[in-house]
Amino acid sequence: MSALTLRNLTKTYANGVEALKGIDLTVERGDFFALLGPNGAGKSTTIGIVSSLVNKTGGEVTILGHSLDQERELAKQKIGVVPQEFNFSQFEKVFDIVVTQAGFYGIPAPLARQRAEKYLRKLGLWDKRKNQARSLSGGMKRRLMIARALVHEPELLILDEPTAGVDIELRRSMWDFLIGLNNEGRTIILTTHYLEEAESLCRRIAIIDHGRIVENTDMKSLLEKLQVETFILDLARPVDHAPELPGFDVHLRDAGTLEVAVPKTQSLNQLFVALAEQNFEVMSMRNKANRLEELFVRLVEQNLPEQNPQRENAS
Amino acid sequence: MTLHQQWVAFLTIVTKEVRRFLRIWPQTLLPPAITMTLYFVIFGNLVGSRIGEMGGFDYMQYIVPGLIMMSVIQNSYGNVVSSFFSTKFQHSIEEMLVSPMSPFVILSGFVVGGMVRGIMVGGIVTTVSLFFTDLNVQHAWITLLVVAMTSALFALGGFINAIFANNFDDISIIPNFILTPLTYLGGVFYSLDLLSEFWRTVTLVNPIVYMVNAFRYGVLGVSDVNVYASLAAIFAFTVVFFLLALWLLRRGTGIRG
């Protein structure tokens, strides 16, 4: 049984905008799944429909074997949602927000309080339990939404850009927390603009653009599609021209830095040998962009001319 | 959800609603107590002493049931319209929409929350009134029934208003321009017998006339209109408003994309 199945999911808004044009997607149980796409691609609409915040126009949604149309209550019991925007009452206390959410799922108060304590402690918010939500920092508010989404212990957790605006240290600790949840057997679906996050956490990935799934595969297979990887090389001594290296596309970024596109058919050893032959000494090296980011940009760009001439013209 | 789970969810919304209006008591509970004290002092004591009797009672006694009912109406309506609109405005309505709670439970929770505030304020106003006059309730069950149904009806009205509201202006238009005039013209301060035949007939179109008079009958034992017809009308309106609100909530009007 899959954790989530979408069949021919469509959504046309009242103003005529066709946000989803027939999405088919399956997320297996226990998976850590990334749903990526540029702004306006349809990610949030998809999540909105799955979490019952948006009415679909057509298609089917099945959550852990329960149809959202026929077994709505059962399906909703199975999922927890962490939305992109803060959506709790700013004037309520942290503890009350989590306990109240448990109550909405029919969890009696003693158990709700116990669960609230468990998740607030796990997310480092126990000390803030008596504070009004509005007094929390952005990162704490995000963690509060995660605690709230977990209080009914859902099997499927959906996070819409959970680490947006969160500092690096906190982001890493949230990753660890999410990995822990996934290791416990929970299925996790996340959308993110930090492609490093998707690459680090997720085993499978779907890319949505213009309301259609343009890629749906496992992370390894997707990264294998990357034909060229671009590296930045910091040189030991300044130079005034880029070297000519057969088989590599080399640009001089500034006097001390080279940008080299390395095709998958070439090894890095060949690059360094060629550089050494021309007396270029490399002190350090890094990817120009995250590998997934590079691939993502290419996939979305490939998708542009045919499906959205306006966007192409605008750029 | 099992019946017990639904009951827990219902109580959760009611508790949340009650906690909200108790937290902001200077905005919710104190103003009606002060306003009604002023009504009692000015209309009851100062002006009322020169008016004399009305409907067989001194003026203070006559207006007390109407003022209690006015507080119940305004606060039941005001609680739900502001609370539900705030949940929309802050998007915290999403907490409920993602949960397995049925629209019936959500609606019932908000309505009962509004009723609790309406009845609590009614109790405060009644207590204040006892400093100015004696009240001997003539028909306790009718009094309670009218208060319960009226508060439910106006809580539902507030809910429907909040569903369609897109900004804070939209939640003040109906209370300011419809509810307040209808309440003041609903026989709170005068008997319909004082009106000419034409204006009496016009006034009978105002639904608040029936609520005020049914309540006055419960408390004082006098009414300008048929009490049982009033009870039937309030009940019918409450059912119609409940079904309408439920239908709107199921459709997701104003709350779902």
- The count of domains in chain B is 1
pLDDT tier, B243 (very low <50, low <70, confident <90, very high otherwise): very high
% of residues, chain A, pLDDT over 90: 41
User: Which residues numbered 91-110 in B keep a CB inside 8 Å of some CB on A?
Assistant: 91-92, 94-102
What's the confidence (pLDDT) of residue B54? 80
pLDDT tier, A306 (very low <50, low <70, confident <90, very high otherwise): very low
Residue A12 has pLDDT above 70, yes or no: yes
Q: Is residue B256 part of a domain?
A: no
The closest alpha carbon to A123, from A85, A151, A86, A159, belongs to A151
What's the confidence (pLDDT) of residue B218? 92
CA-to-CA separations, B225 to A71, B69, B94, B193, in angstroms, rounded: 49, 16, 44, 11
Mind listing the pLDDT tens digit for each residue in A56-73?
Answer: 999 999 999 999 999 999
% of residues, chain B, pLDDT over 70: 100
What's the confidence (pLDDT) of residue A245? 81
Pairing of strands B53-54, B57-58: antiparallel
What's the confidence (pLDDT) of residue B21? 93
> B16 to chain A: which residues are within 8 Å by CB?
96, 100
Q: Is residue B108 part of a domain?
A: yes
Q: Is residue B13 part of a domain?
A: yes
Which three-class secondary structure state does DSSP give residue A31? Answer: coil
What's the confidence (pLDDT) of residue A68? 92
Q: Is B87 on the interface with A (CB under 8 A)?
A: yes
Mind listing the pLDDT tens digit for each residue in B91-107?
Answer: 889 999 999 999 999 99
Residue A311 has pLDDT above 50, yes or no: no
User: Between B51 and B28, whose confidence is greater?
Assistant: B28
CA distance B107 to chain A (A): 13
Which range, B113-122, B171-180, B191-200, is most confident?
A: B113-122
Q: Is A194 on the interface with B (CB under 8 A)?
A: no
Q: Is residue B257 part of a domain?
A: no
What's the confidence (pLDDT) of residue A304? 53
Q: Give the whole-angstrom CA distance, residue A216 versus residue A208.
A: 9
Largest CA distance in chain B: 61
Closest chain B CA to residue A110:
B8
Which three-class secondary structure state does DSSP give residue A286? Answer: strand
Residue with tokens 């067989």: B56
Mind listing the pLDDT tens digit for each residue in A247-282?
Answer: 888 888 888 898 888 887 788 888 888 888 888 888
The closest alpha carbon to B229, from B146, B151, B105, belongs to B146
What's the confidence (pLDDT) of residue A305? 46
Angle between helices B30-39 and B59-89 (to 10 degrees): 150
CA-to-CA separations, A83 to A67, A121, A191, B216, B221, in angstroms, rounded: 22, 21, 10, 50, 56
Q: Strands, E, within A181-300: which ranges?
A: 187-191, 204-209, 212-218, 228-235, 249-254, 257-263, 282-287
Residue ranges and CATH numbers for the domains of chain A are: 2-224 (3.40.50.300), 228-291 (3.30.70.1560)
Mind listing the pLDDT tens digit for each residue in A176-235?
Answer: 899 999 999 999 999 887 777 788 888 898 988 888 988 888 887 777 766 777 888 888
Q: Which two tokens stand for residue A90?
A: 């700013």
ipTM of predicted complex: 0.87
Scanning chain B, the segments in alpha helix (DSSP H) are 3-23, 25-28, 30-39, 48-51, 59-89, 93-97, 103-129, 140-164, 170-174, 180-184, 197-203, 207-220, 227-251
Are A206 and A4 in contact by the 8 Å Cβ rule? The answer is: no
Are A37 and A17 in contact by the 8 Å Cβ rule? The answer is: no
Are A79 and A158 in contact by the 8 Å Cβ rule? The answer is: yes
- A277 burial (CB, 10 Å; 0-12 / 13-18 / 19+) is exposed
What's the confidence (pLDDT) of residue B122? 94
What are the residues facing A132 on neighbouring strands?
Answer: A93
Model confidence, pTM: 0.82
Domain that holds residue B9: 3-49+56-251
Chains A and B form CB pairs within 8 A to the count of 89
DSSP code, position A230: E
Backbone angles phi, psi at A282, to 5 degrees: -100, 125
Q: Is A148 on the interface with B (CB under 8 A)?
A: yes
Q: Is residue B214 part of a domain?
A: yes
Residue A315 has pLDDT above 80, yes or no: no
**Which residues, at least 6 apart from A74, have a Cβ–Cβ distance to it below 8 Å?**
A66, B100
Phi-psi region of A30 (alpha: psi -120 to 50; beta: other; left: phi over 0): left
